[in-house]
Amino acid sequence: MSRTAIVTGGLGHAGTWVVDRLARDGWRVVCVDLTHPGYQVAEREGITFRAADLTERAEALDLVAEFDPDAVVHFAAYPSPTRHADGRVFETNAMSTYHTLVAAGRAGAKVVWASSESTYGFPFAREQTLPDYLPITEDHPLRPEDPYGTSKVVGEEVGKMVARRYDVPVASIRPSWIQEPGRYLCREGRDLSDGAGNFWSYVDARDVAGIVAAALETDFEGHEAFLAVADENYLDRPTADAIEEYFGALPEECALEGEESAFSTEKARDLLGWEPKHDWRTAAEEEVSVSLTAD
């Protein structure tokens, strides 16, 4: 008997890859977004579409109750603090996460949701600063200054609460800048100032889908955060050299080697058995796409 996973934000930038991966892995996937793709399209086998506004508590609770899922993957969010009013970004992200994760907890479903590297506070800070140490781990202090990063910190606290209250495992995935094969936007402008906010890191959308799948298949208790980042920067030069050139210094504790990412994925490798499989040198020119509907 197949397992059921609800994926929110399933028609979004990263969500489509997550839905596709889980469907290929044999999950019965309920793809949820603000809009339905329409009844003129044929649904792919194993994928059902629903439209819902998850900032509405009743809609989130009803949706989860209807499908009684084994897992809830929450990717619905405003993905940036710069495209909408601050209050809308924070309120939408925080409330949709609260409603969705609580609904999942009540149903006894495992939770995997999209937090962000923005929780650390570097990408959208008014003044760019160095991390306390390199490479950055999940234990580095979280100091966001923007509504997006702050909403993700709140979401992680909600995840911890849900894990405690409902005794379900919750994985908070912290992706770096997500790129799609053949559309690597991080390669379009390589001036150091363009990517200094996240120290020129990125991750392929397929690897994000991969870490979601790995988290769903791994037994763990409580709440755990996991960084999801490619092994290397996208600059084609040593990471520490770029950081020192741009910032004028390095943290006292710096253990970066070569082009190694400024963010560590050691925890995901150890606990989930996940590692990134794609890099900009090959993926930037790949012609790979994903479709959630039947041809």
Q: Where do the domains of the chain lie?
A: 4-283
Distances (CA, A) of 33 to 1, 10, 11, 278: 26, 6, 6, 27
pLDDT at 38: 80
Exposed/middle/buried for residue 227 (C-beta within 10 Å: 0-12, 13-18, 19+): buried
Given a contact cutoff of 8 angstroms between Cβ atoms, the answer to whether 201 and 235 are in contact is no
pLDDT at 81: 64
**Residue 156, token pair as written in the block:** 């992680």
Given a contact cutoff of 8 angstroms between Cβ atoms, the answer to whether 211 and 274 are in contact is yes
Chain-centroid distance, C-alpha 36 = 22
Q: What is the pLDDT of residues 29-46, one digit of tens each?
A: 999 999 988 865 667 889
Which long-range CB contacts under 8 A does 183-188 form with residues at least 24 apart?
184/234, 184/280, 184/283, 184/284, 186/234, 186/280, 187/234, 187/280, 187/284
Tokens 């809009």: give the residue. 35
State the Cα–Cα distance between residues 29 and 22, nearest whole angstrom: 7
Maximum Cα–Cα distance across the chain: 59
- Strand pairing partners for 31? 7, 49
pLDDT at 20: 96
Given a contact cutoff of 8 angstroms between Cβ atoms, the answer to whether 97 and 158 are in contact is yes
- DSSP-based three-state secondary structure for 280: helix
Per-residue pLDDT of the chain (295 residues; tens, 9 = 90+): 689 999 999 999 999 999 999 999 999 999 999 998 886 566 788 999 999 999 999 999 999 999 999 999 999 999 876 665 568 999 999 999 999 999 999 999 999 999 999 999 999 888 989 999 999 999 999 999 999 999 999 999 999 999 999 999 999 999 999 999 999 998 766 689 889 999 999 999 999 999 999 999 999 999 999 999 999 999 999 999 999 999 999 999 999 999 999 999 999 999 999 999 999 999 988 988 888 877 5
Tokens 């609460």: give the residue. 161
Closest CA to 55 of 5, 94, 8: 94
Distances (CA, A) of 189 to 20, 194, 215, 219, 234: 30, 7, 33, 41, 10
- CATH level 3 topology of 4-283: Rossmann fold (3.40.50)
Given a contact cutoff of 8 angstroms between Cβ atoms, the answer to whether 181 and 278 are in contact is yes
pLDDT at 193: 85
**Eight-state DSSP code of residue 182:** T
pLDDT at 158: 98
Kindly report whether the peptide bond that precedes residue 135 is cis, defined as omega within 30 degrees of 0: yes
pLDDT at 84: 58
pLDDT at 228: 98
State the Cα–Cα distance between residues 160 and 169, nearest whole angstrom: 9
pLDDT at 11: 94
pLDDT at 83: 65
State the Cα–Cα distance between residues 102 and 30, nearest whole angstrom: 18
pLDDT at 80: 72
pLDDT at 73: 98
pLDDT at 82: 67
